[in-house]
Structure 1
């Protein structure tokens, strides 16, 4: 039951993919341990330079002989409006004071360089013979897809709607991750607007399955064997799990981040643009609640992401959860402290019990 075209394609024992969480969570050791336990480890490379990505790929290769993948952010066009940036800098000065860090004025060219060359990252993936590359925030160009196919790189897109999934199939990617509204972290919509992209996973899976022929991977609120079986029954071939892996012992997530999820209640997550300028789901805190009043004036991604960078960093250094981006899915109350090995075993054992009782 748990063996299918996606496990064969990706070389997995189990139809489980560790979500590529950028920002330091997916350490080399963490990714390798996931792959060594029969699932697919993924490097979240969205904020890595080409040099950093190359170094991490080589580290992972030293720790596992199994397949692993890299996830890249597809660059989007964005505008830098000086008056908008100046107004946001003034607003954020209050939080610099709260954290007792120097007030700074972010220089615009820094924002313009926020995406380390995407094409350089693509070249690193090819040169280092990474078997699998997934994409978020959009789809690669025909030229990039041609290069990846030439070097036999398996490609996976990320969609939040049927329209986006169809576009991913049309450009000839090998599989599609469908991200339900329950998912933690950044929303992956690129053709649909924010409201249109907020489709629950159990509704989204069958809609996409009925409209594409490539394998579908389900993401959003899946924490255990029940979620895996539900996704498979609706037609997906695998699941991508983020929050469940984030609280594992080997995860590189900040301890404050882990504790916030482990002690959360059912209604503690919220969608926000406060930290990065792009809609994302995370644990409620002071920064999110206060910035809600300024939602309309928040610059888009990646501008806001750079403007809040020093605040997020200082907050993490001070173990202060009130100004950290504590990304989490809606099923956070099911999170546990356990090893990666135990998480994967537990999910598969529960899925098998469910299957045997059907």
Structure 2
């Protein structure tokens, strides 16, 4: 007899034209086409984190992906557009001095780097008609939900609490992505100030979100191998989303220093930090991350001003191959990541997960 979890998975895969219920996480720092193309070719869902792309660059990326045979695509954007952070000159001067100890001198107006226009990004996303428009940090406005439905684009809303899941379903989300606190990268909390306080682990969050909503749920956070995939499906997920588990694949093309440190990372070697962007995210607990969390360190500036302030340090770290100053996002299951081609990882992982589910 087929396991009930597999029946649920089969229905989800049919709806989204997938062979495997595994979705690539939309990692904004991993925008090469190689990884999403490999995932797509193997029957998973490819993803594109478009946060750092203006609308024309988004179009170019998607057209290149499709010209190379890419299949169903998840396109992710941050929502909603935050109110501009108020500059605090004295505090930012202290931050520039602190950051100069980890890299080049920070220009006086580095924090003023502008964001891309989210409305222009949304217009382009809907015009491109990906299989999925995914959001993090908040909800689509009602008019955008209607436009997505008219365009035949599914909306997947990322949530970090049961309350957010209920809000997302009420707003019209087709799928809920339940992001556990184990996840690498930015936390998807709707209220930035609550991202650390409401850091709920996936094994607690997932079954309660599944019970709270009627739409399918995708599990994200801390899923590093077949055991995590099978566990998430047993807890009610229709699919899983993986990010850190793919960072050691050659297609991810992350810096070798970052990929190498992942191999020896224990769960406790990551931590939530605002030190890179001003919003909470989980990264490797490097020298810079630990120093930024010390009591004597200046508090990070709000997003996106902190992102601008750390740009010079991050670029210099990449050039120097110094992972202790890189923006090295990583989830708590980083140590499970394997240095193998993405296609092999996906086939092997799903084969083993299927065996575990009988």
The normalised TM-score by structure 1 is 0.92
SS in structure 2 at match of 1:277: coil
Q: 1:330 is paired with a residue of what secondary structure?
A: coil
- Determine the structure 1 residue equivalent to 2:25: 19
**Is the 2:102–2:325 contact (alpha carbons within 8 Å) kept by the matching residues of 1?**
no
Give yes or no for the alignment of 1:248 onto 2:249.
yes
Kindly report structure 1 stretches of 4+ aligned residues shifted beyond 4 Å.
none
- Give the alignment partner of residue 80 of structure 1, picking from 77, 85, 98: 85
Aligned Cα root-mean-square deviation (Å) = 1.8
Task: Find the counterpart in structure 1 of residue 3 from structure 2.
Answer: none
Gaps (5+ residues) in structure 2?
A: 1-5
Q: CA deviation at 1:336?
A: 1.0
Identify the residue that residue 106 of structure 1 maps to in structure 2. 109
- Tell me how many residue pairs correspond in the alignment: 350
**Which residue of structure 2 lines up, in the alignment, with residue 41 of structure 1?**
46
8 Å contact kept, 2:318–2:326: yes
TM-score by length of 2: 0.92
CA distance in 2, matches of 1:79, 1:60: 33
Q: Look up the match of 2:217.
A: 216
Kept after mapping to 1: 8 A contact 2:80/2:139: no
1:233 Cα deviation from its structure 2 partner: 0.7
1:10 aligns with 2:27: no
Paired with 1:275 and 1:103, the residues of 2 have a C-alpha distance of: 14
Provide closer, same or farther for how the CA distance between residues 267 and 11 of structure 1 changes in structure 2, counting only shifts above 3 A.
same
Aligned equivalents of 2:83, 2:324: Cα separation in 1: 28
| 1:33-67 Cα shifts (integer Å, max 9, x gaps) | 11111000100111111111111001100122421
CA contact (8 A) 1:31 1:41 kept: yes
Contact preservation (8 Å) 2:185, 2:330: yes
How far apart, CA to CA, are the structure 2 residues paired with 1:121 and 1:4?
Answer: 32
**Distance in 1 (alpha carbons) for counterparts of 2:95 and 2:301:** 12
Partner of 2:351: 349
Task: Report the more deviating stretch, 67-76 or 233-242.
Answer: 67-76
Given the alignment, which residue of 64, 73, 89 partners 2:69? 64
User: What is the match of residue 289 of structure 1?
Assistant: 290
User: Which runs of no fewer than 5 residues in structure 1 stay unpaired?
Assistant: none
2:39 is paired with a residue whose SS is: helix
